[in-house]
Amino acid sequence: MDTNGGGAWQQADVVVVGAGLSGLVSAAEAYNAGRTVLILDQEPEASLGGQAHWSFGGLFLVDSPEQRHLGVKDSAELAMSDWMGSAAFDRPEDLWPRRWAEAYVNFAAGEKRAWLHALGVKFFPLVQWAERGGYDAAGHGNSVPRFHVVWGTGPGIVAPFLSKLEEGVAAGRVQYAFRHRATELMFDAGTVTGVLGEVLADSEAARGVASSREFVGGFSVQAGAVIVTTGGIGGNHAMVREQWPNGTGPGYMLTGVPASVDGEFQQAVARAGGALINTDRMWHYPEGIHNTDPVWPNHGIRILSGPSPLWLDGDGKRLPVPLFPGFDSLGTLRHLETTGHDHSWFVLNKTIIGKEFALSGSEQNPDLTGKDVKLLAKRALPGAPGPVQNFLDHGIDFLQAATAQELAAKMNALVGVDLIDPAELHETLLARDRQVDSGLGKDTQLNAIREARRFATDKLMRVVPPHPLLAPEHGPLIAVRLTTLTRKSLGGLTTDLSARVLDAAGNPIPGLYAAGEAAGFGGGGMHGYRSLEGTFLGGCLFSGRIAGRCAASDAGA
């Protein structure tokens, strides 16, 4: 389709800066309200949809029909308790983040699912359990499974908003301006009236591939309202390190988002007076692996593991309770920072990898993304799914061996230092296996595995029965080197419940709105310190919907 229409408009009722999910939702809502909408993005059209296109498509829902069908008892009150226990709000500037959190949980327990269903979004019926926590009842983690995977993954959640905007393009009320990089806001008497920026040279870069920043001209566009939806900073390691809490971050990191996720316009809004808060709160993953087929620089993939692999630090020591796979990502990341190494390890075997390993991302789940029921059914067959098998065969982080001693030698060779004692690794696995053989045991991780298998989805497709890791019939042994993977910013531009950007004094900046990751998914950080997972896409949907509707009303005033 001809989205540029021969050149960007010089004026629109609503200008949306950023064509990711929150931007598309904002634009669709503004168009639905009868406004003309211009969507600016620095990338070529091939990257339309932003990071959401690459996502696994998990959404946080509360007391859904899918949960009830599986016997899960959930409620808004339980979800709110889990959220607040995870967020641990403790700063004066958490006023608006807390209000956004309360509003979002009520949305997830209320009209969210019906709204999405009306748009044609459907869900895989087997609800997943991400971020289980493992502390006390008031601490971090989901008390029950709430991770609902969209049928079609990330592209499936983006599709209805693209369709609505295509309608707007055809009607002459929506226009995209790709390769238009916004650099600053325009003001008149304290009110935002538009955007200035750079026109970049045309690019044939494929989706996610780094595109050039060759300058070919400038642009300005007048607007009744501007919505900032430019995402986070995960593609900009210098900015990640600058904002890393109490330090500079790991010496080596993988990148979980395209290089275009650079945070630059968020900083421009801050320089123009928008209050940017909680920038030290981030959500990066410790389970990153090097992509076998990278798209962007240093492209990493996250392993979504069941609870059975042993998680070892760089020296081969088991991580403390409850830092098991899938229990507390941020807690694990913080612990690993104290070990002096930029890597850690999963140690497992062939039986475990066949059922418990999944990979995050739409491209790593062709069955769910392509809505291919026959391909999906193959997950029930013995052996690893095709994408996982590809990493097992070709991934530079994956090692296999018949014995613990041989595996330790390969682990040391991969990192180039003899950090792991072969005899100690064997004894670690053997001690764990003795607990299995006892039939009862004191190993907290084994008890967590047994508990997980009480939930239907986990028993069916995510968690293998406890068994000896060293048993030859379950071999070979497998070690996977893990590296920190950059992903999300939890802080952002402060917004009120109308998505209006606030200044340092707490006053709305007239004409200026923000949504999605640029706004900390609402309020400047509605997750607080930790996320419950499935709440990033949902936060983009919720804040984008509010921003689009409120900006449309403002632009028509």
CATH 3.90.700.10 location in the chain:
286-485
Query: Looking at the domain 14-248+261-269+490-555, which fold is it?
Result: FAD/NAD(P)-binding domain (3.50.50)
For tokens 């100690």, name the residue: 424
> Does the N-terminal peptide bond of residue 366 adopt cis geometry, omega within 30 degrees of 0?
no
- Rounded to whole angstroms, the Cα distance separating 419 from 314 reads 7
Q: Which two tokens stand for residue 262?
A: 């650079």
Q: Which two tokens stand for residue 385?
A: 């799914």
Is 554 strand, coil or helix? helix
194: phi then psi, degrees, rounded to nearest 5: 165, -165
Q: Are 268 and 409 in contact (CB under 8 A)?
A: no
- Rounded to whole angstroms, the Cα distance separating 153 from 52 reads 9
Is 83 strand, coil or helix? helix
Q: Are 339 and 419 in contact (CB under 8 A)?
A: no
- Rounded to whole angstroms, the Cα distance separating 541 from 143 reads 24
Within 201-267, strands assigned E span 215-228, 254-255
CATH 3.50.50.60 location in the chain:
14-248+261-269+490-555
Q: Are 61 and 193 in contact (CB under 8 A)?
A: no
Query: How many CB atoms sit inside 10 A of residue 377's CB?
Result: 10
Overall residue count recorded for the chain in this entry: 557
Q: Which two tokens stand for residue 84?
A: 């607040």
- Rounded to whole angstroms, the Cα distance separating 49 from 381 reads 33
Query: How many CB atoms sit inside 10 A of residue 1's CB?
Result: 9
How far, in Å, are 29, 334, 357, 497 from residue 522 at the CA level?
A: 17, 25, 32, 8
Cα-only R_g, the chain: 23
Strand partners, 150: 123
Nearest to 323 by CA among 339, 296, 500: 339
Show pLDDT as tens, one digit a residue, over the chain (557 residues): 334 445 789 999 999 999 999 999 999 999 999 999 999 999 999 999 999 999 999 999 999 999 999 999 999 999 999 999 999 999 999 999 999 999 999 999 999 999 999 999 999 999 999 999 999 999 999 999 999 999 999 999 999 999 999 999 999 999 999 999 999 999 999 999 999 999 999 999 999 999 999 999 999 999 999 999 999 999 999 999 999 998 889 999 999 999 999 999 999 999 999 999 999 999 999 999 999 999 999 999 999 999 999 999 999 999 999 999 999 999 999 999 999 999 999 999 999 999 999 999 999 999 999 999 999 988 888 889 999 999 999 999 999 999 999 999 999 999 999 999 999 999 999 999 999 999 888 999 999 999 999 999 999 999 999 999 999 999 999 999 999 999 999 999 999 999 999 999 999 999 999 999 999 999 999 999 999 989 999 999 999 999 999 999 999 76
CA angle 114–547–162, rounded 5-degree value: 60
Please tell me the number of Cα atoms within 13 Å of 105 on its side-chain side: 22
Query: How many CB atoms sit inside 10 A of residue 117's CB?
Result: 11
514: phi then psi, degrees, rounded to nearest 5: -150, 150
- Rounded to whole angstroms, the Cα distance separating 554 from 112 reads 24
List, for residues 52-90, the tens digit of each pLDDT value: 999 999 999 999 999 999 999 999 999 999 999 999 999
Strand partners, 148: 59
Query: How many CB atoms sit inside 10 A of residue 170's CB?
Result: 10
Nearest to 347 by CA among 382, 315, 386, 308: 308
Query: Looking at the domain 286-485, which fold is it?
Result: Flavocytochrome C3; Chain A, domain 1 (3.90.700)
